[in-house]
A = this chain, B = another copy of it.
Amino acid sequence: MTHVEILKKHNLKATPQRLSILNTLEMYGHVTLEEIEKYTKVNFPTLSLSTIYRNINEMIKKNVVSEVKITNSKDYFEINKEKHAHLICKECGKIEDFKIDTQDIVKNIQSLTNDKIIDATLNFEVICKECLSGK
């Protein structure tokens, strides 16, 4: 689905500002607010910070974008895709998506509590292969 289609599907007008924000998210995968500002302004110098805030919040509310919170670091944002976990390199800080079925984990864990587990947010601290190989 194109970004235009995604926006329309969620009753958001496909403005150039929104498209450029989504484009930045697409290109960089996981970005902080300042990074969105920095990278997006390269191609869209007149974009204002308040528009970024308004749109990120709006798109989060509509489930187009989601927030990735990582201990001891800033908040990141990503385009909403299939559910996945994150691998966060302790050394270089890179964040990678990690496609595992979180429901598998949920099933394994469910027997350990009386609460009904609905879903899981999983962040793994890693040393990524590049850092491991000393690159």
Q: Which residues of A contact B (CB under 8 A)?
A: 60, 66-72, 87, 89-90, 96, 98, 100, 105-106, 109, 112-129, 132
Task: Let me know if B116 and A132 touch, CB within 8 A.
Answer: yes
Kindly report how many copies of this chain are found in the complex they form together.
2
Task: Let me know if A127 and B116 touch, CB within 8 A.
Answer: yes
Task: Let me know if A115 and B100 touch, CB within 8 A.
Answer: no
Given contacts A69-B71, A115-B129, A118-B127, 10 further A-B contacts (CB under 8 A): A66-B71, A71-B121, A113-B126, A114-B132, A115-B124, A115-B127, A115-B128, A116-B132, A118-B124, A120-B125
> Which B residues touch A106, using CB under 8 A?
124
> Which B residues touch A114, using CB under 8 A?
129, 132
